[in-house]
Amino acid sequence: MALLIALALFVAQAINFGLALRDRTEFRLGQATRPAATRIADALEREARDRRPLAADRGRVRRVAADPIPAGLERHPEVASEMRRQLLELGLKPGRIDTGFRPAVESAVEETDTARRGARRRRGRDGDILLIAVEQPDGWLTVMSPWPRTESRLLWTLLGQTGILYVIVLLPVLWIVRRMSRPLRDLRAAAESFGPGDPSTPLLPRGPDDVAALIVAFNALRLRVGGMLDEKDRMLGAIGHDLRTPLAALRVRIESVEDEADRAKMVDTIAEMNRTLDDILSLARLGRPSEPLTDVDLSALVDAVVEDFRDIGHAVEFVEADRLPMRLRPSLIRRAVRNLIENAVKYGHSAEVRVEARAKTVAIVVADQGPGIPEARMGDVFDAFTRLESSRNRETGGIGLGLALARAIVREAGGEIRLANRAGGGLDAVIELPR
């Protein structure tokens, strides 16, 4: 806003300068031509009345045989054009009109003492003169007029006015705009940083009335959102408790099933239901984690997850890496890595896990030997309850929450997950965390 005001003031001053320069140019042109045309008309009238020819070496208007203006002087055709118009208005019919600008230094060298005194009275304060020669049937009439220098003084005057205008107008406007925009900037920062469980104190209402009212409304909205999230957590906790209780009862009851195969299938089903319930509750509660940030060795954390898979017979290898201290929520990151490894083992039969320290990020790469994912479906696999495997067999597909939960965990930590098919076959699932 301040920039627009400054630009508007500059444009206004530029227009003002253009108009003033045009008026100054017209004034200078009239100042040079009107007295000269009047002198020529008066001189010709006196010559006709007194029958005394004009002299070539004295007087304000002189008659010479040829054009007296040297070829090297600066010409001003606009003066010649205006001079012709002025003479025609006075009833004279001029022939050719020539002009020449003579600076004060040159004029002082060439003039006689008497002519110098007269010319000095006719010059402007700067002492520059403009020679004007008008062709007549019996010779050339020549006259001198004052001719101010360039408009640098006017330019500096307008620049000074612009500076004063900026100081008087722009600085108070900048102060007012800053006073208005500071609470808006604070409000924007609070809105951008707001998240579930945000413990920050309410913003202090300040600024203009509308801005202060907006801050009050934002504080109230944040309280309502926090209350709704707290209610949601309580509801999810109750749902989880109510669902786990009958699952535990079923787990006890199936112990009385005599058929060992049926009993094993029932146990697996109940375990799968518990895992699904955990995933759904974790995904719903994400963003309000109860686990604090902890300093951990990321390489050791990932190695421990890989070791858990090796203990149950899965073909998972970990590429040894140097110690890499990070500050994160270890249980959540462990769960995200576990979900990626589960997918790699399920669809790619084996997995190789490595930790790569980069300039600004740390990458956890889970590489499998499976068929990969079609490029058109790369974004779909992160949607909750989305499965690329079309059958409803839990052994081959799960319920489609693993990648969704992993991405939510990584994004909550400020990172990102990306998937990429390798040229030689297989898929790389990469977790990138900021260092």
Which alpha helices (H) appear in 254-386, and where do they start and end? 260-285, 298-311, 330-348
CB 341 within 8 A of CB 353: yes
> Which residue's entry shows tokens 């206004």?
12
Q: Cite the beta strand spans of 129-276 per DSSP E.
A: 129-136, 139-146
Angle separating helix axes 209-253 and 171-193, nearest 10 degrees: 10
pLDDT of residue 386: 64
How much is the pLDDT for 122? 44
Domain ranges (residues) in the chain? 2-152, 194-288, 290-434
Most confident range, picked from 24-33, 230-239, 361-370: 361-370
- Confidence grade of residue 2 (pLDDT, cut at 50, 70, 90): low
Question: What superfamily would CATH give domain 290-434?
Answer: Histidine kinase-like ATPase, C-terminal domain (3.30.565.10)
Res 106: pLDDT: 47
Q: Rounded to whole angstroms, how far apart are CA atoms 234 and 230? A: 6
Task: Return d(Cα 299, Cα 354) in angstroms, integer.
Answer: 8
Q: Can you tell me which residue has the tokens 């017979």?
A: 313
pLDDT in tens, 258-313: 888 888 888 878 877 877 777 677 666 665 666 788 999 999 999 999 999 998 88
Q: Share the mean pLDDT of the chain.
A: 80
Is residue 325 within 8 A of residue 295, CB to CB? The reply is yes
Q: Say what the pTM is.
A: 0.49
pLDDT at 19: 80
| pLDDT, mean of residues 219-248 | 79
User: Helix, strand or coil for residue 364?
Assistant: strand
Residue 171 in tokens:
């600085």
Residue 115's pLDDT band (cuts 50, 70, 90): very low
Contacts of 30 (CB under 8 A, 6+ apart): 82
Q: What is the pLDDT of residue 121?
A: 46
Q: Which CATH architecture has domain 194-288?
A: Orthogonal Bundle (1.10)
Tokens of 152: 């640098």
Q: What is the pLDDT of residue 196?
A: 63
DSSP code string of 272-300: HHHHHHHHHHHHHHTTS--SPPEEEEHHH
DSSP 8-state secondary structure symbol assigned to residue 125: T
More confident residue, 287 or 91: 91
Average pLDDT over residues 102-124: 49
pLDDT of residue 119: 45
Whether the pLDDT of residue 142 is over 70: the answer is: yes
pLDDT higher than threshold 60 for residue 118: no
Angle between helices 209-253 and 260-285 (to 10 degrees): 170
Q: Is the pLDDT of residue 330 over 70?
A: yes
Q: Which amino acid is at 321?
A: A
Output 398 or 224, whichever has higher pLDDT: 224
The pLDDT value given to residue 287:
59
**Ranges 60-64, 117-121, 320-324: which has the least confidence:** 117-121
Q: What was the pLDDT predicted at 127?
A: 60
* Res. 363 pLDDT band, cuts 50 70 90: very high
Q: Given a cut of 50, is residue 319 above it in pLDDT? A: yes
Closest CA to 298 of 332, 318, 320, 323: 323
Which of 244, 239, 229, 29 lies closest to 148, judged by CA?
Answer: 29
What is the helix (H) or strand (E) element at residue 356, kind and residue range?
strand 350-357
Residue 27 has pLDDT above 70, yes or no: yes
> Would the pLDDT of 317 be above 90?
yes
Cross-strand partners of 434? 361
Sequence-distant (≥ 6) Cβ neighbours of residue 375 within 8 angstroms: 421
Report the sign of the C-alpha dihedral through residues 56, 62, 64, 70, in that order: positive
Query: Which one-letter amino acid corresponds to residue 299?
Result: S
Q: Is the pLDDT of residue 1 over 90?
A: no
